[in-house]
Chains A and B, each alone.
Chain A
Amino acid sequence: MPALQEPQPLLAVEDLHVTVGDHEVLRGIDLVIAEGETHVLLGPNGGGKTTLLNTIVGLPGYRVTQGSITFKGVDLDGLEIDERARLGIGVAFQRPPAVRGIKLRQLIEVAAGDGEHEELLADLIGELSLRKMIDRDVNMGFSGGEMKRSEMAQLIAQSPELTLFDEPESGVDLDNIAVVGRAMNRLLKSERVGKGTRAGLIVTHTGHILEYVNADIGHVLYDGKLACKGNPRDLIGEIGKHGYDKCVECAICQR
């Protein structure tokens, strides 16, 4: 009797080494995210969390020296940022750049792809309180909360299968965190007809966003390696008590 086939992972990162400038920031990362899963990446600042995200997105300056990233069975090596996006990878940047002359409305329409988007726009404007921002140059003079709401609107329009969130709660007040959290749930939990469920990878160093979003699996990225894996809330509890240094040895680690 043939063995049951494992479901193909959505994202598979294998033995990933990444150098930025002359510095090797990631030193052998293994990470598998299956359809429907939401993972959390914890870790101290400078530990390489954003580097991992940006490498998956395909930003220049992040050089893969060893290992691979596979998305839906496709090796991402050599694919441009836009090709990865069209393949189904979305990213909410921590500090997205302001683009003079491009309105938020345009970017939402572009992210949504071909077709009419009036209904979607009306929905997003209401859901994320975009009325005052929708016809402004994107991110130009946006507050922290406005910037995150703008990112969420673009991503909901883009509707990626895997969404990467870089510090979604940073620079956001409490009212806005709740709105951003709601949008993240919409991104992560909604079904895609015929395409299975969506997945996410959330980078956070405070963990506050987890009060609004349920995550399945937590990882601690420490000194360029995934040092720890477990229940996200337990991990945050441990880190709160003992700090990241003890993480590698902590009792709840499943690694």
Chain B
Amino acid sequence: MSAIEQRKAEIRRLAETAVDKPATFGPDLDLAAFNAAADQQSVESLASLNKQIKETALEIGFDASEAGRSGSYFQMDRSPIYRKVEEMFDNKLEIMSTEEALVLYPELMYEKYYWRNVAPDKDKYTAQVALNHTEGYFIRVKAGQKIDKPIQACLFVSENNISQNVHSVIILEEGAEANVLTGCTIHPQVREGLHAGISEFYVGKGAKLTFTMIHNWSEDFHVRPRTGVTVEEDGVYVNNYIMLKPVRSLQTFPVARLVGDRSRAVFNSIVYGLDDSYVDIGSETSLEGAGTRSEAIARTVSRDKAVVYSRGRLIGRNNDCKAHLDCRGIVFSEESTQWAIPDLASEGAPGAELSHEAAISPIAAEEIYYLMSRGVPKDDAISMITRGFLDLDIPGLPPALRRQVDKALEETAKESL
């Protein structure tokens, strides 16, 4: 048996051991309740997508006109229906489906990238993705190439009650730079379903990846992303996560390993929990190289009966490393619950400097009065402060997306009244 066949068998064997293994966090789901996704037709151009799909995609930052983008990938259910690299980036950037990449680069994928940052036996959701026909995007930026326009991807669910299994890989070779926007959303008619998404990112020496994910689900939808990132020497990984709409349950806990010296990771998360949403988000950064640095910032607002967990784990494994965690929450309803769970560990690294600030508190009355004293009515003052609270300075957002986020925050803040 070839090395590749052996590895395939190993992935399958590992996954099979985990088919019933609940995740560490979040409510347990019965995966048998979801149907397999059907194949969807590819499209020659995004213009041929129907208007409603285009508009839904635009809300999560995916622009079907492809203006100002270096490349696009669109997946409907389990089918990659569109992918394109703009001509000027042709020899710099590759975008294809993961299945295509496995055919084109089998050794590279199985030896270095496929199921290397996320374990197939992590839990039943990784097993689900490993054992079923799965697509996702493969994005590779060649060494030294700086892709100055964002790459956009949309993972779209069009059918009710399916399990959308996705496995994506992003590779930034040495010195490469890219800004990837991934929007995950569903057709307005979809009520229930599951999105199980594996993301494996590899940031090479001196490379910089800014990855922004916007989620837009519905009241009865379940979401279980599993993300693993490794960052080499002098590499930088920036992770932005935004979710402002209701979801039945969402649990995610991306893990970044800073293996190279002087590598850095930044996590920014904005979550607005409403209705009966159960949201459990967090991140883990493992600081392994010398001179590694990390920062994780989370802002959570909840109302109605929403339950929100905001976790942050920093593990110092090198004597010269430094990391800070900052999570703040506002609870707007007596029926809502929030947990802020900072989690710091120094493992054999007496010199590691790890710190956190975690706070859950209402908007201070004196801040509201302060704005009122300048002539702002009370409701507007609360709305302004809520919006400001959620409005992190998120790096790498293109202006069009910035405006969309601003708009969403504006609406969110208004709803908070």
A residues lining the B interface (CB < 8 Å)? 57, 59-60, 80-82, 85-86, 90-91, 93, 96-97, 99-102, 106-107, 110-111, 113, 137, 154, 158
Contacts and interface: CB of A to CB of B under 8 A. Distances in A.
B372 interface: yes
B373 A85 contact: yes
Nearest to B328: A100
A100 B359 CA distance: 13
Contacts of B365: 60
Nearest to A157: B374
A99 B390 contact: no
B390 A101 contact: yes
- B370, B374, B378 — most chain A CB neighbours (10 Å): B374
Contact of B378 (A80, A101, A137): A80
B109 interface: no
Contact of A82 (B364, B367, B372): B372
Nearest to A154: B374
B375 A86 contact: yes
- A60, A81, A96, A113 — most chain B CB neighbours (10 Å): A81
Interface in B208-229: none
B375 A102 contact: no
B124 interface: no
Contacts of B369: 59-60, 81
A82 B377 contact: yes
B5 interface: no
Interface stretch (B96-104, B279-287, B381-389): B381-389
Contact of A99 (B328, B385, B391): B385
Contacts of A113: 375
B372 A101 contact: no
18 contacts: A60-B369, A80-B377, A80-B378, A81-B373, A82-B372, A82-B376, A82-B377, A82-B378, A85-B373, A85-B374, A86-B375, A93-B370, A96-B370, A99-B370, A101-B388, A102-B388, A110-B371, A110-B374
Interface string B310-322: 0000000000000
Interface residues of B, number: 23
Contact of B374 (A80, A100, A158): A158
Given A85-B375, A111-B375, A113-B375, A100 B370 contact: no
B370 A101 contact: no
Interface in B141-168: none
Contacts of A86: 375
Contacts of B371: 99, 102, 107, 110
A111 B371 CA distance: 9
Contacts of B415: none
A80 B377 CA distance: 9
Contacts of B374: 85, 107, 110-111, 154, 158
Contacts of B334: none
B405 to A, nearest CB: 14
Contacts of A102: 371, 384-385, 388
- B365, B367, B377 — most chain A CB neighbours (10 Å): B367
Contacts of A107: 371, 374
B367 A85 contact: no
Nearest to B379: A82
A97 B385 CA distance: 13
A96 to B, nearest CB: 6
A96 B369 CA distance: 10
Contacts of B366: 97
A86 B367 CA distance: 18
What 7 A-B pairs have minimum CB-CB distances, sorted nearest first?
A101-B388, A81-B372, A85-B375, A82-B372, A111-B374, A102-B388, A97-B366
Contacts of B370: 93, 96-97, 99
A84 to B, nearest CB: 8
Nearest to B377: A82
B372 A100 contact: no
Contacts of B373: 57, 81-82, 85, 90-91, 93
B372 A85 contact: yes
Contacts of A60: 365, 369
Contacts of B381: 82
A110 B376 contact: yes
B372 A80 contact: yes
A91 B384 CA distance: 20
A101 B370 CA distance: 14
Contacts of B385: 99, 101-102
A90 B370 CA distance: 11
- B373, B385, B388 — most chain A CB neighbours (10 Å): B373
- B366, B369, B370 — most chain A CB neighbours (10 Å): B370
Contact of B375 (A93, A110, A137): A110
Nearest to A101: B388
Contacts of A100: 328, 388-389
B372 A99 contact: no
B399 to A, nearest CB: 17
Contacts of A82: 372-373, 375-378, 381
Given A90-B373, A107-B374, 20 more contacts: A57-B373, A59-B369, A60-B369, A80-B377, A80-B378, A85-B373, A85-B374, A96-B370, A99-B367, A99-B370, A100-B389, A101-B388, A102-B384, A106-B384, A106-B388, A107-B371, A110-B375, A111-B375, A154-B374, A158-B374
A111 B381 CA distance: 12
Nearest to B374: A111
A106 B387 CA distance: 12
A80 B369 CA distance: 10
